[in-house]
Structure 1
């Protein structure tokens, strides 16, 4: 082999070696970028979930099956609290739904309710024996049922229990975390601390947010069954709630609770819950149409001049609230309740948060 041939072979070997090195470097760099992108995507992923009532089971099951791919958490209403600090099931558990949720990657965090009985919770958390029993039972339930955690939906709490309730949340969170379970705490809406009422003053968002894994804010019922007619969650009010949440709760833990219902006021200072589908049927029957209130962002229907009517949220008002969640970089949204929502509801959620 002459010198020229040797030089050509050497050049080819060097070229192949450099190509292999560069190719490997490029592959590693792409893998690194992909990993970083995946981590960023995972970090920015919002929690999307809903509370599932124990009534309207067929409707709730259909809604969950249709939309489980959009969700990553759910809280079935499973228990309420007894005076002896034990739990009573609301109904027979839908274990098939739990299996379906887990298979779809949806965390199951059952809800425990106090039926708006603040005095009941006060008695339990102020008595050392009852308090310890309640914590033990909640933790054992999460372990036995093989769910991802526990949600406290304790409403109507007493103002005097602010510190002791915060301490209870801290103890329960630590007990659940030892078993690798999550704690979610539902809180009543407010726009400033300590709150505007006894029950809102009983919940310290800052302390609850420090120890709980989720803080779900019930940003609805600005107007309610026995109030004068009006928007369920005016957009300006929701913004103020989001601002307070951002100041007091770690952003990734703060969940904006959004209603999927409205109220139909019928003249004597009372109202009944109504879905968007029902509101549209009434409007069609009365040959009227739902109109949007620019100030609050919600839709309404006047049935007769001078008489109360219907106020309800639709996909337009939902979109506005989801934009607030994104603007203030909150951790996600939770809907009360599954089965009430309009077909466009989940489409808007996917467009805004996925």
Structure 2
């Protein structure tokens, strides 16, 4: 299933060892453009018996400008497509995506997948705006206007429901926000639609921090049909180099979540992206570059860097030098994905979800397909 490249390995030799054509290994792992294999690179090999886990619900976010060929890699394994995103005004009017979303809705249904309208409280600056959130959740008339507008949009545009992705909710709006989700669900369910909600990755009820304090796991779990744990961004643009979704940290969030929310309502988030930091890291100045997981391996191969694997974080990483500057990269590969899938399976979670589906990662989708027997 998974082979880790050693120094001196060749594609031909691996092909001979597993009895899988070189072209198949190259295609499955998107090795095009790689002049040679990177030491420590994990390859998905379509040979032998897969270690089966139970079939789980699989979802993921995509912007309407996603490249069709990239999206279609994931569609055969998905149950749901989260279309990102619709906004709203202080009066409760919907703000539609700038790019056409209807082609995604149609494509999802063609694959037998439920398309979900994602609602986000973005202000004019394109960032999460907690004043927008507060206005909606505290004003019954505006809240009702927004809910009715969402119902109309879902019905008219062919969505299966609404995914609420609000972040930085003020602590004083904690209960009102959960109440809004409950009201929205009541209306949507009555009309044959569903409501999910994205949750910041908390490890305790009283966890400090603006991203956490307005999120009540128990209430939101009760008021939504299912929840999406945003279990990523430990390693992030302005933070120090580390795994984006270290398994030990993800497990802490899941440990808490299952105490507050039934496991069968929980979707665990998985990142489909990587970060490339320049060293030394200086807080307030350093800024990591977002790259894809396939791109990360291509960089390692081109730079002659050996990929390491952190056993605690269950994440691959490497360093390299370019133009006299040292870089550190943390990313996801089939080993780290397998570990996350096994974690979700062990806890009996509803499934897993990806932020996001915009970057190619063919081996990931093939791995899911083989492990779940889909």
Alignment TM-score > 0.5, same fold: yes
1:297 corresponds, among 292, 306, 314, to 314
Picking from 193, 200, 204, the partner of 1:188 is 200
Aligned counterpart for 2:210 among listed residues 176, 198, 214: 198
- Matched-pair contact (CA < 8 Å) for 2:73–2:362: no
Alignment correspondent of 1:284: 301
- 1:192 Cα deviation after fit: 1.5
Tell me the distance in 1 between the aligned counterparts of 2:239 and 2:309.
20
TM-score scaled to structure 2, two decimals?
0.78
Rounded to whole Å, the distance in 2 between the matches of 1:314 and 1:65 is 20
Q: How does 1:5-44 map to 2 (within 5 A)?
A: none
**Counterpart contact for 2:232–2:244, Cα < 8 Å:** yes
**Is the counterpart of residue 138 in structure 1 residue 157 in structure 2?**
no
**Is residue 251–residue 329 contact of structure 1 (8 Å, CA) maintained in 2?**
yes
**Is this contact kept in 2: 1:323–1:352, CA < 8 A?**
no
Structure 1 position 345, deviation (Å) = 0.4
Q: Does structure 2 conserve the Cα–Cα contact (< 8 Å) formed by 1:125 and 1:168?
A: yes
Does structure 1 retain, via aligned residues, the 8 Å contact 2:196–2:225? yes
- 2:56 corresponds in structure 1 to 46
Asked if the contact 1:47/1:72 (under 8 Å) is kept, the reply is: yes
Say whether the 8 Å CA contact 1:78–1:93 is kept in structure 2. Answer: no
The total of aligned residue pairs comes to 308
The answer to whether the 8 Å contact 1:242/1:324 transfers is: no
Scaled by the length of structure 1, the TM-score of the pair is: 0.82
Query: How far off its partner does 1:177 sit?
Result: 0.9
**In structure 1, distance between residues paired with 2:142 and 2:341:** 40
Q: Which residue of 1 aligns with 2:335?
A: 316
Q: Does 1:348 align with 2:367?
A: yes
**Aligned with 1:237 (options 249, 253, 263):** 249
Match of 1:16 in 2: none
- Give the stretch that moved more between structures: 244-253 or 321-330: 244-253
Instruction: Determine helix, strand or coil for the equivalent of 1:49.
Output: strand
Moved over 4 A (4+): 304-308
* d(CA) in 2 for partners of 1:255, 1:280: 28
Deviation at 1:106, TM superposition (A): 0.5
Inter-CA distance 252–140: structure 2 relative to 1 (3 Å threshold) = same
Q: Does 2:271 correspond to 1:263?
A: no
Bigger mean CA deviation after superposition, 213-222 or 265-274? 265-274
Over aligned residues, Cα RMSD in angstroms?
Answer: 1.8
Q: Which fold has the larger relative contact order, with Cα–Cα distance below 8 Å and residues 6 or more apart in sequence? A: 2
Unpaired segments of 5 or more residues in structure 2? 1-53, 123-127, 280-284
Instruction: Indicate the structure with greater helix content.
Output: 1
Say which of 79, 85, 109 aligns to 1:78: 85
- 1:307 deviates by 4.6
SS where residue 263 of structure 1 aligns? strand
Per the alignment, residue 63 of structure 1 pairs with 70
Structure 2 counterpart SS, 1:85 = coil
CA drift of 1:269 comes to: 1.8
- Which residue is equivalent to 2:117? 110
Q: Residues 14-52 of structure 1, C-alpha deviation per residue, up to 9 Å, x if partnerless?
A: xxxxxxxxxxxxxxxxxxxxxxxxxxxxxx642111101
Unaligned runs of 5+ in 1: 1-43
Q: Quick check: 342-351 or 148-157, which moved more? A: 342-351
Aligned to 2:10: none
Q: Tell me if 1:120 matches 2:132.
A: yes
Q: CA deviation at 1:254?
A: 0.5
